[in-house]
């Protein structure tokens, strides 16, 4: 029984990591696409096709998470993106303030509380 619970937890963690990676890739593509000149239609089209492809992949992974796990657990697992967003904003040189860290800590505390039922 414990092995089944461990496998289920690993499955959720793996799907969540894939979903998070795809979200981060999409956010990065959107960020980079804003720096492209509006006259470079081919480059912009390439960005938008890649963004669409990543979102289709994310939709498939998200559907898989919802098929295998209850709604409360599926949505709680997706909250892992919030610390990633803060880290990504730091990578892009955006300002970081202490209340962002407090917010992320509160969200992650809630996620841990909700995930106890996995």
Cβ proximity of 111 and 76 under 8 Å: yes
Of the pLDDT bands very low, low, confident and very high (cuts 50, 70, 90), residue 5 is confident
Is the pLDDT assigned to residue 114 strictly greater than 70? Answer: yes
The predicted model scores a pTM of 0.79
- Enter the tokens of residue 63: 């559907």
Q: 83-97 burial string, b = 16+ CB within 10 Å, else e?
A: beebebeeeeeeeee
Q: What is the mean pLDDT of residues 10-21?
A: 91
What's the pLDDT tens digit per position in 18-76? 999 999 999 999 999 998 998 899 999 999 999 999 999 999 999 999 999 888 888 88
């Amino acid at each position: 029984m414990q092995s089944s619970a461990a496998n289920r937890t690993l499955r959720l963690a793996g799907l969540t990591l894939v979903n998070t990676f795809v979200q981060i890739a999409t956010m990065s593509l959107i960020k980079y696409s804003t720096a492209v000149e509006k006259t470079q239609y081919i480059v912009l089209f390439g960005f938008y096709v890649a963004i669409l492809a990543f979102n289709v992949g994310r939709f498939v992974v998200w559907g898989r998470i919802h098929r295998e796990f209850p709604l409360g657990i599926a949505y709680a697992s997706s909250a892992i993106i919030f610390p990633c967003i803060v880290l990504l904003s730091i990578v892009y040189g955006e300002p970081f303030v202490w209340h962002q860290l407090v917010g992320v800590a509160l969200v992650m505390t809630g996620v841990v509380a909700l995930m106890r039922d996995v």
